[in-house]
Chains A and B, each alone.
Chain A
Amino acid sequence: MTEPVLMKFKSKMEKVAIKSTIKSTASSTNYKNEIYDSDGYYGEYGGVFIPEVLRNNMDELTHTFNACKSDPAFLAELDLAFKEFSGRPTALTPLSKLSDELGGAQLYLKREGLNHTGAHKINHCIGQVLLAKRMGKTRIIAETGAGQHGYATASVCARYGLECIIYMGKIDYERQRPNVYWMELLGAKVIPVTEGSQTLNDAVIAAFKDLIAHPKESHYLLGSAVGPHPFPLINTFFQKVVGEEIKSQITEQIGGLPDQCIACVGGGSNAMGMFYEFLDDESVTLTGVEAGGKSSKGGEHAAKVSFGKKGIFEGYYSYFLQDNDGNINDTHSVSAGLDYCGVSPILAHLYDKDRVGFSYATDDQALNAVQVLAQKEGIILALESAHALAHAMKIAPEYSKDHCIVVNGSGRGEKDLFITMRHFQKDKMMAFLKSQLES
Chain B
Amino acid sequence: MKIMAHTVIAYPDLESTKVVCEKYIAAGMEILELQIPFSHPTADGSILTQANRLAAKEISTSGALDFVEELKTQHPDQKVMLMSYVNKIFSFGIQNFISRMKKMKVPYLIIPDLPFDSPLAQKFHEDDYVQLIPVLSANTFSDRLKLAMSSKPDYVYLMADFKITGSQFSLHENIKNLISKIKELHPAKVGLGFGISNAEQVNQCLEIADFSIIGSALTKACDEGRIDGILKEFQAEVL
Identify the A interface with B (CB < 8 A). 47-53, 55-56, 194-197, 201-202, 205, 208-209, 212-215, 309, 311-315, 320, 322, 324-328
Partner of B91 from A50, A208, A322 at Cβ < 8 Å: A322
Chain A residues within an 8 Å CB radius of B88:
325-327
Chain A residues within an 8 Å CB radius of B42:
51, 205, 208, 313-314
Chain B residues within an 8 Å CB radius of A314:
42
User: For the complex, what is the distance from the CA of A45 to the CA of B58, rounded to whole Å?
Assistant: 31
B209 at the interface (CB under 8 A from A): no
Partner of A327 from B38, B119, B136, B167 at Cβ < 8 Å: B38
Partner of B137 from A52, A208, A312, A315 at Cβ < 8 Å: A52
Given A215-B139, A215-B162, A327-B56, output 16 extra A-B contacts at Cβ < 8 Å: A47-B118, A51-B135, A51-B137, A52-B116, A53-B140, A195-B46, A205-B42, A209-B43, A212-B43, A213-B162, A309-B91, A312-B120, A325-B91, A327-B38, A327-B40, A328-B39
CB nearest neighbor in A for B113: A49
For B54-65 the 0/1 string (1 means CB < 8 A from A) is 001000110000
B176 at the interface (CB under 8 A from A): no
B133 → A minimal CB distance (Å):
12
B95 → A minimal CB distance (Å):
15
For B103-138 the 0/1 string (1 means CB < 8 A from A) is 000000000111110111000000000000011110
B144 at the interface (CB under 8 A from A): yes
B87 at the interface (CB under 8 A from A): yes
Chain B residues within an 8 Å CB radius of A202:
40
- Report whether B113 and A53 are in contact in the complex, using a CB–CB cutoff of 8 Å: no
User: For the complex, what is the distance from the CA of A326 to the CA of B136, rounded to whole Å?
Assistant: 25
- Report whether A212 and B113 are in contact in the complex, using a CB–CB cutoff of 8 Å: no
Partner of A312 from B39, B113, B163 at Cβ < 8 Å: B113
What are 30 A-B residue pairs whose CB atoms fall within 8 Å in the complex?
A: A47-B118, A48-B118, A49-B113, A49-B115, A51-B42, A51-B43, A51-B137, A52-B116, A52-B148, A53-B135, A56-B141, A194-B46, A195-B46, A196-B40, A196-B50, A201-B40, A205-B49, A209-B164, A213-B162, A213-B167, A311-B87, A313-B87, A315-B113, A320-B87, A325-B61, A326-B61, A326-B91, A327-B38, A327-B56, A328-B39
- Report whether B91 and A205 are in contact in the complex, using a CB–CB cutoff of 8 Å: no
B215 → A minimal CB distance (Å):
15
Chain A residues within an 8 Å CB radius of B2:
none
Partner of B49 from A50, A195, A320 at Cβ < 8 Å: A195
B4 → A minimal CB distance (Å):
18
Given A55-B144, A56-B139, A205-B42, is A213 in contact with B115 using a C-beta cutoff of 8 Å? no
- Report whether B137 and A53 are in contact in the complex, using a CB–CB cutoff of 8 Å: yes
B71 at the interface (CB under 8 A from A): no
User: For the complex, what is the distance from the CA of A311 to the CA of B94, rounded to whole Å?
Assistant: 12
A41 → B minimal CB distance (Å):
8
Partner of A52 from B115, B163, B164 at Cβ < 8 Å: B115
Given A55-B144, A212-B162, A325-B61, is A50 in contact with B113 using a C-beta cutoff of 8 Å? yes
Chain A residues within an 8 Å CB radius of B86:
49, 312
Chain B residues within an 8 Å CB radius of A326:
38, 61, 87-92
Chain A residues within an 8 Å CB radius of B214:
none
Partner of A49 from B38, B46, B114 at Cβ < 8 Å: B114
- Report whether A312 and B90 are in contact in the complex, using a CB–CB cutoff of 8 Å: yes
CB nearest neighbor in B for A330: B39
A18 → B minimal CB distance (Å):
29
- Report whether B40 and A51 are in contact in the complex, using a CB–CB cutoff of 8 Å: no
- Report whether B115 and A48 are in contact in the complex, using a CB–CB cutoff of 8 Å: yes
User: For the complex, what is the distance from the CA of A215 to the CA of B60, rounded to whole Å?
Assistant: 35
Partner of B112 from A47, A51, A55, A197 at Cβ < 8 Å: A51
B168 → A minimal CB distance (Å):
11
User: For the complex, what is the distance from the CA of A320 to the CA of B88, rounded to whole Å?
Assistant: 13
B186 at the interface (CB under 8 A from A): no
Given A324-B91, A326-B88, is A49 in contact with B118 using a C-beta cutoff of 8 Å? yes
- Report whether B91 and A52 are in contact in the complex, using a CB–CB cutoff of 8 Å: no
User: For the complex, what is the distance from the CA of A205 to the CA of B114, rounded to whole Å?
Assistant: 16
Partner of B40 from A53, A209, A328 at Cβ < 8 Å: A328
A191 → B minimal CB distance (Å):
13
Chain A residues within an 8 Å CB radius of B40:
196, 201-202, 205, 313, 327-328
Chain B residues within an 8 Å CB radius of A47:
118-120
Chain B residues within an 8 Å CB radius of A320:
87
Chain B residues within an 8 Å CB radius of A313:
40, 42, 87
- Report whether A212 and B135 are in contact in the complex, using a CB–CB cutoff of 8 Å: no
Chain B residues within an 8 Å CB radius of A322:
87, 91
User: For the complex, what is the distance from the CA of A202 to the CA of B148, rounded to whole Å?
Assistant: 29
B159 at the interface (CB under 8 A from A): yes
User: For the complex, what is the distance from the CA of A324 to the CA of B87, rounded to whole Å?
Assistant: 11
A88 → B minimal CB distance (Å):
35
B189 at the interface (CB under 8 A from A): no
B72 at the interface (CB under 8 A from A): no
B53 at the interface (CB under 8 A from A): yes
CB nearest neighbor in A for B57: A327
Chain A residues within an 8 Å CB radius of B135:
51-53
- Report whether B162 and A53 are in contact in the complex, using a CB–CB cutoff of 8 Å: yes
For B12-49 the 0/1 string (1 means CB < 8 A from A) is 00000000000000000000000000111111001001
User: For the complex, what is the distance from the CA of A194 to the CA of B162, rounded to whole Å?
Assistant: 21
Chain A residues within an 8 Å CB radius of B90:
311-312, 326
- Report whether A55 and B140 are in contact in the complex, using a CB–CB cutoff of 8 Å: yes
User: For the complex, what is the distance from the CA of A328 to the CA of B60, rounded to whole Å?
Assistant: 13
B158 → A minimal CB distance (Å):
10
CB nearest neighbor in B for A58: B115
A157 → B minimal CB distance (Å):
23
CB nearest neighbor in A for B138: A53
Chain B residues within an 8 Å CB radius of A52:
115-116, 134-137, 140, 144, 148
- Report whether A212 and B163 are in contact in the complex, using a CB–CB cutoff of 8 Å: yes
